[in-house]
Amino acid sequence: MDFNLETNSWQVLPVGGDTGMAYMGVSKNKKLFLKRNTSPFLAALSLEGVTPRLMWTKRMSSGDTLTAQEWLNGRSLHKSEMASKQVSDLLYKVHHSKLLKKMLRQVGGTVVTPTSLLDSYFDGLSSDLRKHPLLARVATQLKRTMPQLDPANFEVCHGDLNHKNWLLSDAKRLYLVDWESAVVGDPALDLSMLMCLYVPRDQWHEWLERYYGREIDSAFQARVDWYTMMNLLFFIKHSHGRGRFHEMNQDICKLADFVDTKN
């Protein structure tokens, strides 16, 4: 890939990722993380210290936009580290940043509501999942108990809190990367996803209070519960569509357990 970096001293190497648009630029003892066509939202993330520092942005002759961030040696978080205070503190910062919210709205960030989530779940849903007794019952319950939150109070949500998207630098600074799924929505959407994947059920209340910094009320807990069931339905649909039936059945069991504990 020719990035026209104004000098032939740069070597550009592809790095891992699903998009195929991420590279490492190497010149002598310098390294940069390069990416094509990143959202302008990256500048706000860099200013807030949520992602590694943005060094520059250039328009390429092809019409693509190339961004360069500082290269940080480090590693992704392990699953066992996802319940840590460092994670909850960074997520709280994201969810309460006025700058991030302003910038994501300015660049046309998608607004996600409970209604749009439920519609998305049913869109293209296979007939066997549509007829599954537990899934149908949960979907009906979600329709009946949709959270009522003014969209003006929505915040920035990352949307893909996989442990691989958390970068812990060698200096022990934590960053949240890969923002392609970012939306404007209820922070409970992010919280429920993270807890569902990584926090033991009996630790949820404690984790939420640590995130929030105070006692959580019943209305907030109800929203988290609603998004937890919604996320599990999406996990089940995703696994079914890819033929990962073992993972699908695990999430169906998780959903059944969650519903039982609420009743």
Q: Extract the tokens encoding 103.
A: 């910038």
Q: Give the per-residue pLDDT at 179.
A: 93
Q: Are residues 255 and 204 in the same domain?
A: yes
**Polymer length in residues for the chain:** 263
Domain finish residue from 23, 43, 71: 71
For residue 182, which of 16, 75, 40 has the smallest C-alpha distance? 40
Q: Give the per-residue pLDDT at 40.
A: 85
- Return d(Cα 150, Cα 219) in angstroms, integer: 14
pLDDT 10s digits, 83-130: 999 999 999 999 999 999 999 999 999 999 999 999 999 999 999 999
The percent of residues in the chain predicted with pLDDT above 70, rounded, is: 94
Section 22-38 average pLDDT: 78
Task: Print the domain residue range for 27.
Answer: 11-71
The residues facing 27 across adjacent strands are 30
On whether the CB atoms of residues 32 and 55 are closer than 8 A, the answer is yes
Q: Are residues 67 and 82 in the same domain?
A: no
Q: Give the per-residue pLDDT at 126.
A: 96
Say whether pLDDT at 2 is over 50: no
Q: Give the per-residue pLDDT at 15.
A: 75
Q: Which of 39-48, 55-64, 240-249 has the lowest mean pLDDT?
A: 55-64
Q: Give the per-residue pLDDT at 36.
A: 78
Q: Would 5 be classed as within a structural domain? A: no
Section 66-90 average pLDDT: 93
Q: Are residues 131 and 167 in the same domain?
A: yes
- Return d(Cα 33, Cα 13) in angstroms, integer: 10
Q: Give the per-residue pLDDT at 247.
A: 96
2, 18, 119, 160: the active-site residue: 160
Annotation marks residue 150 as catalytic: no
The residue among 80 and 30 whose pLDDT is bigger is 80
Strand residues in the chain grouped as ranges (E): 11-14, 22-27, 30-36, 54-59, 65-70, 74-76, 155-157, 166-169, 174-176, 183-185
The percent of residues in the chain predicted with pLDDT above 90, rounded, is: 71
Q: Are residues 157 and 245 in the same domain?
A: yes
Q: Are residues 138 and 117 in the same domain?
A: yes
Q: Give the per-residue pLDDT at 16.
A: 64
Confidence of residue 1 (pLDDT cuts 50, 70, 90): very low
For residue 67, which of 32, 100, 95 has the smallest C-alpha distance? 32
Q: Give the per-residue pLDDT at 209.
A: 94
- Phi first, then psi, for residue 19 (nearest 5°) are -85, -20
Section 46-56 average pLDDT: 94
Q: Are residues 56 and 95 in the same domain?
A: no
Confidence of residue 5 (pLDDT cuts 50, 70, 90): low
CB-based burial of residue 105 (10 Å sphere; 0-12 exposed, 13-18 middle, 19+ buried)? middle
Q: Would 4 be classed as within a structural domain? A: no
Q: Would 89 be classed as within a structural domain? A: yes
- Return d(Cα 236, Cα 247) in angstroms, integer: 8
Q: Give the per-residue pLDDT at 31.
A: 83
**Residue 40 belongs to domain with CATH number:** 3.30.200
